[in-house]
Structure 1
Amino acid sequence: MSNTTRLFVAAALPNELKQYLGEQASHYQQEAIRPVPAENLHLTLYFIGNVAATQLPSIKQVTQHIARQFPPFDLHLEGIEPGPKPRSPRLIWARFESSEPFEQLSQSLTQALSPVPPNNRKSIPHITLARFRKDRPAPKHLEMLLPEQPVVLQVKEIAVWHSELASPHPRYTILESYPLAHNLP
Structure 2
Amino acid sequence: MGRIQALLLALVLGGLGYGLWTLHTLSPLRVNSEKAQQEHLQTQPVGSVTATSAVALPAGSATPAKAVTAPANLQPVTQSREVSDDAPYIPPISAATPAPAYQGDLSDHQAYLAHQSARAAQMKQAYVAAVDKKVERLEALLEKGIRHKLPPQQLQEARDKIQGLRAMQAQLRRELAQ
Which bracket does the TM-score occupy, shorter chain normalised?
Answer: under 0.3
Q: Higher relative contact order by CA 8 Å / sep ≥ 6: 1 or 2?
A: 1
TM-score normalized by the length of structure 2: 0.20
TM-score normalized by the length of structure 1: 0.20
Larger fraction in helix: 2
